[in-house]
Amino acid sequence: MRGLDTEVRRIRRQIFKEVANLAYTSENLKDDVEALPYKIVDYDEPAHRENVYRERAIARERIRLAMGLSLRPENMPVHVTQGLEESNISEKYYEPPLMQVIPSACNACPENVYLVTDRCLGCVAHPCREVCPKGAISMVNGKSYIDQEKCIKCGKCKAVCPYDAISHQVRPCAAACGVNAIKSDSKGRAVIDNELCVSCGQCMVNCPFAAIADKSQIFQLIRAMQSGRKIIAQVAPAFVGQFGPKVSPNMIKTALKQLGFADVYETAIGADMGAIAEAEHYVHEVATGELPFLLTSCCPSWSVMAKKFFPETIDKISNALTPMVATARKIKEEHPDASVVFIGPCASKKLEASRRTIRSDVDFVITFEELAGMFEAKGIDLEAVVAEDEMQDATAAGRGYGVAGGVASAIEQCIREYYPDVEVNIEHAESLAECKKMLLLAKAGKKNGCLIEGMACPGGCIAGAGTNIAIPQAVKEVNAFKKTATAELPELN
């Protein structure tokens, strides 16, 4: 579904637009929040569910999450605006957990089921029956039938069917989760095990029912802007192309200033700093044999997964600041009176910004998807913006961080340029499932001497949960933007 303008994406975009509009225009917030589900579901016949009442109930929960509030319990009479006053603030606001399943929106999809479809021709060979190790397949009315009580989900029947008549149905959110954090409640609906979840958001973007959502800070960010605070935006390297092929990076910078930001920086500046720092770490720690391997630090879901499931790798994770944090600190050095918002493709950056172990200097995190809602609410037509600013902050290496393999490539280039006598071995993995395999190999000693880049999202940051465009197009846009950089590599300090 990635890159398609589906009804799910339209629903999410509408929610962000309406919540942003509340922050911009509401004079009676409590009443306007109560009325909003009726504005969103303003029809008599249901569009997606069995009735409009369920659709409005779901809309209420989506509104709450978009305002940074938690879902309401199903078994208690909690008002839709409960907690609203605490959320109606301009300071940094975050209430974990980040990713949440809206129970009333979940379709309780099959978790792991093999079913015979109408493509079965009832062939004489019956290879499906012959290979079944548990005798779960029989013939009923001339067609194959699978007894679910006996089936052990081995998939042998599907593999041998000559007509591809056996379907393997899995829960999309669970299939997308590389850490097995999707479980089921007593009614068969998906729930997230927060002890396992690393907040990558892939479950959210793979749910066809829009039943999973992350919390947003757009409401609090707009409140901060309205309070008169000086707020500076930093945009992640994956931002190019996210708002349409006719909207250039320079137009986006001008539009962000029109939205009310005092200035705009490229997060690729921090990526440049990180590439130099991690090149030094590799040269002085891995190449010397002090460490067996080095893990990059820029993807928070990758780092959290390594710490949770492979604690023996904690001391192998680079201690270089992530691009987001490095850029935020640079901004606050130059503008001590400013607050910083990170605008990017990533859900887990919201988690990173809220860490207490490392001061992030990031006051707000919003995604490209959420920013689109703010532009719509403010009536800014991006294609009509006349660029009055120029994005010329970072090198090609730093801008390449947005695509899988770009981090490792930038570090490798720095090592080859500044430490030509050092041999470098680079590996990278994308998707949590592949990252887990890579960490298992590293743990087993099969990746010694390597610099290992991990990206939770397949494709890298351009495939993050808060992106707007198809992954192949995003790759093309990032690569084109790299070519406009005035320098290929950051300078060694």
Evaluate whether residue 28 is within a structural domain: yes
Residue 419 lies inside a defined structural domain of this protein: no
Is 436 contained in some domain?
Answer: no
Residues 190, 90 share a domain: yes
**Same structural domain, 79 and 157:** no
Claim to verify: residue 130 and residue 190 sit in the same structural domain: no
Same domain, 199 and 180: yes
Cα→Cα distances 286→275, 290, 293, 397, Å: 15, 6, 6, 22
Residues of the chain predicted below pLDDT 50: none
**CA of 333: how far to CAs of 125, 265, 327, in Å?**
74, 13, 10
* CB distance 266 to 295 below 8 Å: no
Which residues contact residue 148 at a Cβ distance below 8 angstroms, ignoring those fewer than 6 apart?
Answer: 113, 136
pLDDT of residue 78: 85
**For the chain, how many structural domains are there in total?**
2
The answer on 153 and 13 residing in a single domain is no
118 and 97 share a domain?
Answer: no
7-25 helix and 218-226 helix, angle to the nearest 10 degrees: 30
Residues linked to residue 340 through DSSP beta bridges, in sequence order: 232
Same domain? 80 vs 207: yes
144 in the same domain as 71 = no
Let me know if residue 91 belongs to a domain: yes
Domain co-membership, 78 together with 199: yes
Q: Is residue 212 in some structural domain?
A: yes
Which of 203, 219, 235 finishes a domain?
Answer: 219
Judge if pTM exceeds 0.85.
yes
**CATH code, domain with 39:** 3.30.70.20
Please report whether residue 487 resides in a domain: no
In a domain, residue 374? The reply is no
Per-residue tokens: 463? 């495939």
Residues 68 and 203 occupy one common structural domain: yes
Looking only at the bridges linking them, the beta strands covering 339-344 and 182-184 are: unpaired
β-pairing verdict for 112-116 and 137-140:
unpaired
Does the residue 304 lie in any domain?
Answer: no
Is the same domain home to 24 and 163? no
Q: How far apart are CA 275 and CA 267, in angstroms?
A: 13
Based on the domain organization, do 197 and 92 belong to the same domain? yes
Domain that holds residue 162: 112-170
Q: Which residue has the tokens 């016949």?
A: 45
